[in-house]
Amino acid sequence: MHKLDLSAESLCQRNPRLIYAALSGFGHAGSHTDRAAYDVVVQALSGLMSITGSSADEPVRVGTSISDILTGIFGAVAIVSAVHGRTESGQGTVIDLAMLDCTVAALENAISRFATAGVAPEPLGTRHPSITPFQAFPDGRCADRHRRRQRHTVGGPLRLSRARRPG
């Protein structure tokens, strides 16, 4: 944007009410600034892949392009917040978001557990590090009862698969 004379500084000088949002892979300062960012690369560099899956043998990417999605959501919230702030102050703002930062923000449990208790993050499968019971369990009767209630509530089709039941 600097090459086109469209930097945040130059545009905000022209229009102080401007809300300028710059979303990048690794931010606009630092050693990775000029690197291309792909979702899977950001998942790996952030540490997200180290806690995804059920085995420490192989890093696993999240099943969606979560880093792309998180960055878009964080960007949208930041822009809406800036618009609201501008109605109060009359001033615009510059928003600078990096995919890596947004993905690291999603590691709330892993980071806080390591920082406070020294517990190194590891793949959890479907478990949760601090809520029990919170994972996939073989079940039939209990799940079927919940699905019947759900069907009654939403009026949808009832599909109970005997093939998925253990035993």
The band of 79, judged by pLDDT with boundaries at 50, 70 and 90, is very high
Domain count, the chain: 2
pLDDT(167) > 50: no
pLDDT for residue 131: 77
Nearest Cα to Cα of residue 70 among 110, 49, 45, 43: 43
> Residues near 15 by Cβ (< 8 Å), separated by ≥ 6?
92
Spatial separation of the C-alpha atoms in residues 4 and 104, rounded to whole Å: 31
Both tokens of 143, joined, read 């799940």
Can you tell me the mean pLDDT for 28-56? Answer: 90
pLDDT(76) > 90: yes
- Residue 59 near residue 44, CB atoms below 8 Å: yes
Residue 152 is among the residues annotated as catalytic for this protein: no
Residues 112 and 82 in one domain: yes
Beta strands in 2-142 (DSSP E): 19-24, 93-98
Residues 18 and 93 in one domain: yes
Spatial separation of the C-alpha atoms in residues 104 and 47, rounded to whole Å: 8
Q: What is the mean pLDDT of the chain?
A: 86
Q: In terms of C-beta density within 10 A (0-12 exposed, 13-18 middle, 19 or more buried), how is residue 42 classed?
A: buried
Residues 64 and 144 in one domain: no
Residues 22 and 97 in one domain: yes
131 assigned to some structural domain:
no
**Marked catalytic residue, from 2, 28, 84, 128:** 128
Residues 114 and 142 in one domain: no
pLDDT digits (tens, 9 = 90+) for 99-155: 999 999 999 888 998 999 998 888 888 887 777 777 777 766 666 777 777 777 777
Nearest Cα to Cα of residue 61 among 78, 37, 82, 45: 45
Residues 118 and 145 in one domain: no
What domain range includes position 166? 137-167
2 assigned to some structural domain:
no
List the CATH number of the domain containing 99.
Answer: 3.40.50.10540
